[in-house]
Amino acid sequence: MEDSSGFLTTNIKSLDTVFLENRNDRMDYMFLRGETNLQEDFYSYRDRKENLIFMKIGIADWNELQEQYAGEICEKTYQRFCENINMLYQNQVRLYTTQRGEVFLLGDSNLDAKMLFTRIEKEDTKQQYLEETMLYYSLYAGYVEIAVERETYQSARKKLEFACKCAWLDGNGQITVFQEERYEKYLRKLSMKEQLKYDVAHDFQGFEVYYQPIVSGDTKEVSGAEALLRWKSQKYGMVSPAEFIPVLEQTGLIVPVGKWVLYTAICQCKEWQRYRKEFRMNINLSHIQLKQSDVSRDLIKDLKECKLDSKYIMLELTESGRVEKDSAVRHMIKHLQKMKVKLAIDDFGTGYSNFCYLKDLKVHIIKIDRTFVANSLASEYQYKLLRHIIEMAHGVQLQVCLEGIESEKELEKVSPLKPDYIQGYLFGHPVDAAAFLEKNLLRYIEEVEVK
Ligand code: C2E
Ligand code: CA
Ligand code: CA
């Protein structure tokens, strides 16, 4: 939701500065009313028992324009903008302002907001040819249809601001109607953000590390595990990592949480080596962690504290596209390699990872994503491709882990390809530490005791 690139590239308008001569012009036009009127008029629709269209049109990047141009130019720009709307739609809407750069509109439910916006844009474009151009800007707009008897002004205003935010995020000088589903998702994300902050600050409450077995391609014996983060929200229950990890990344909380996972998983690895001497732990690292924290320092400290050799740790790099481009991240990776920590490229075969990354980042393993593996079972071409990828990887001493093997049939099909490691529900779902021990390691206890 954060990316807004390209917003000002389309729908460029212009405005001349002829009005500058009337320097003392003020904005108190009869047609432009203030916040109090806006609220009063909003509630007047209750008596009329009618729905209303609540709309806002704004000049994009108004603050930037103010930085660049003299106050009078901006003032005139805004005047012209409001006058245009008033001139075109005075019979259909009422206009209100709370601050420069934007205007609120109230209209009846039959108002065609999209048409209105298109006409206003056209009107501005026309002026570009009439007078000498000075100031360039584009417009955005949001609107929402409100059943006033069920809605307060404050909540309607929040919805409208959200529609405008969406217009801004969607780019291209958009007009966007309020979308309830998108708003719900946004509110859920906001609430999740607050809960995550709270849980991190309260000793990582609600967080847990689950473990999924990784087995040897030959023997199918458990060689290690991948540590997978889980979060149980007090409000929403178990939330998928696909949903909460991006929030952790956006807020930077992935740094403390990632540190916590690193420590927890390293201690767990040491503990499980009592059952499997060579037990290894795979830990996911976000590019944000690599960029914003000293992963190698944390790792040295944790390994020392847990008395574990670095060779038993495999760090899985996600979103390697960004890993590749960022020099600070590359520097950190080089440092980790010097420490003899093994690296894996995760989700190989999806949009994020491909062979380009392998030439610079000296990794040990590629983990081929489940979608790729599943496709190769359905199509002969994909199967051949998978075989060649594995052969190519082996040719340059890279090991391969196939992810997402769910059935015996799948296992039968991929086994001739000789992957070094296999991971998937067939060998075990991610489970908590106690369940992992019971399912995967207790059977080795006798071996350990005999030795
Ligand atoms: P990933 O690293 O690719 O992890 C493998 C995902 O595939 C896990 O999803 C796992 O439960 C799922 N999986 C394993 N075997 C199978 C199978 O046979 N079939 C299917 N359909 N799925 C299978 P999960 O646990 O939901 O994690 C999703 C992603 O969240 C992970 O993908 C990883 O990118 C991220 N993640 C999880 N824990 C961490 C963490 O501690 N730090 C960071 N940075 N990212 C994490
Ligand atoms: Ca992974
Ligand atoms: Ca993966």
Residue 240 alpha carbon, nearest atom of ligand 1: 26
Q: What integer pLDDT is reported at residue 218 of this predicted model?
A: 95
Residue 233 CA to ligand 2 center (angstroms) comes to 22
For residue 182, pLDDT over 60 is answered with yes
Q: What integer pLDDT is reported at residue 246 of this predicted model?
A: 95
CA-to-CA dists, residue 397 to 303, 304, 314, angstroms: 27, 29, 16
Residue 293 CA to ligand 1 center (angstroms) comes to 22
Residue 210 alpha carbon, nearest atom of ligand 1: 25
Residue 363 CA to ligand 2 center (angstroms) comes to 14
Q: What integer pLDDT is reported at residue 232 of this predicted model?
A: 98
Mean pLDDT of 372-388: 90
Q: Which residue would you say has higher pLDDT here, 262 or 446? A: 262
User: How confident is the model over 328-349, as pLDDT tens digits?
Assistant: 777 888 888 888 899 999 988 7
User: How confident is the model over 256-308, as pLDDT tens digits?
Assistant: 999 999 999 999 999 999 999 999 999 999 989 988 999 999 999 999 999 99
Residue 320 Cβ inside 6 Å of ligand 1? The answer reads: no
- Give the count of beta carbons closer than 10 Å to the beta carbon of residue 83: 15
Residue 228 CA to ligand 1 center (angstroms) comes to 6
Q: What are the E-state strand segments in 9-122?
A: 13-15, 32-33, 51-59, 93-96, 102-108
- Shortest CA distance to 302 belongs to which of 341, 329, 248? 341
What are 359's two structure tokens?
Answer: 């030439």
Q: What integer pLDDT is reported at residue 245 of this predicted model?
A: 96
Instruction: For residues 448 and 425, give the distance between their C-alpha atoms in angstroms, rounded to a whole number.
Output: 27
For residue 370, pLDDT over 50 is answered with yes
**C-alpha 403: how far from chain center:** 23
DSSP structural state of residue 322: H
Return the best residue to mutate from 230, 232, 245 for the ligand 1 pocket (most ligand atoms within 8 A of CB). 245
- Give the count of beta carbons closer than 10 Å to the beta carbon of residue 404: 18
Return the best residue to mutate from 228, 282, 313, 352 for the ligand 1 pocket (most ligand atoms within 8 A of CB). 228
Helices (H), 24-70: 35-48, 62-68
For residue 40, pLDDT over 70 is answered with yes
Find which of 46-55, 195-204, 394-403 is predicted with most confidence, using mean pLDDT. Answer: 195-204
Residue 287 Cβ inside 6 Å of ligand 1? The answer reads: no
The position carrying tokens 């060998």 is 427
**C-alpha 14: how far from chain center:** 35
If DSSP states are collapsed to H, E and C, what string results for 256-298?
Answer: HHHHHHHHHHHHHHHHHCCCCCCCEEEEEECHHHHHHCCHHHH
Q: What integer pLDDT is reported at residue 18 of this predicted model?
A: 31
* Greatest distance between any 2 Cα atoms in the chain: 97
- Shortest CA distance to 103 belongs to which of 127, 121, 78? 78
% of the chain beyond a pLDDT of 90 = 60
Q: What is the DSSP string of 146-178?
A: EEGGG--HHHHHHHHHHHHHHHHHH-TT-EEE-
% of the chain beyond a pLDDT of 70 = 85
Ligand 2 being an ion, which residues bring their Cβ within 5 A of it?
284, 316, 346
Q: What integer pLDDT is reported at residue 354 of this predicted model?
A: 61
List the residue whose alpha carbon is closest to atom 7 of ligand 1. Answer: 404
Question: Over the chain, what is the mean pLDDT?
Answer: 86
Residue 430 alpha carbon, nearest atom of ligand 1: 11
Q: What integer pLDDT is reported at residue 450 of this predicted model?
A: 53
User: How confident is the model over 148-161, as pLDDT tens digits?
Assistant: 888 999 999 999 99
User: Whose atoms come closest to the Cα of 401: which ligand?
Assistant: 3
Residue 257 CA to ligand 2 center (angstroms) comes to 16
DSSP structural state of residue 438: I
Residue 424 Cβ inside 6 Å of ligand 1? The answer reads: yes
Per-residue confidence at 324, pLDDT binned at 50, 70, 90?
A: low
Mean pLDDT of 437-442: 95
Q: What integer pLDDT is reported at residue 446 of this predicted model?
A: 60
Mean pLDDT of 137-158: 93
Report helix angle 153-170 to 180-201, nearest 10.
Answer: 90
Return the best residue to mutate from 403, 407, 429 for the ligand 1 pocket (most ligand atoms within 8 A of CB). 403
Helices (H), 113-152: 113-130
Residue 427 CA to ligand 1 center (angstroms) comes to 15
List the residue whose alpha carbon is closest to atom 3 of ligand 1. Answer: 347
Q: What integer pLDDT is reported at residue 378 of this predicted model?
A: 87
Q: What is the DSSP string of 386-401?
A: HHHHHHHHHHTT-EEE
Lowest mean pLDDT among 68-82, 105-119, 190-204, 216-230: 68-82
User: Whose atoms come closest to the Cα of 241: which ligand?
Assistant: 1
User: How confident is the model over 41-81, as pLDDT tens digits?
Assistant: 999 888 877 899 999 999 988 898 888 887 887 888 888 88
Q: Which residue would you say has higher pLDDT here, 360 or 25? A: 360
pTM for this prediction: 0.85
For residue 29, pLDDT over 70 is answered with no
Return the best residue to mutate from 284, 329, 429 for the ligand 1 pocket (most ligand atoms within 8 A of CB). 284
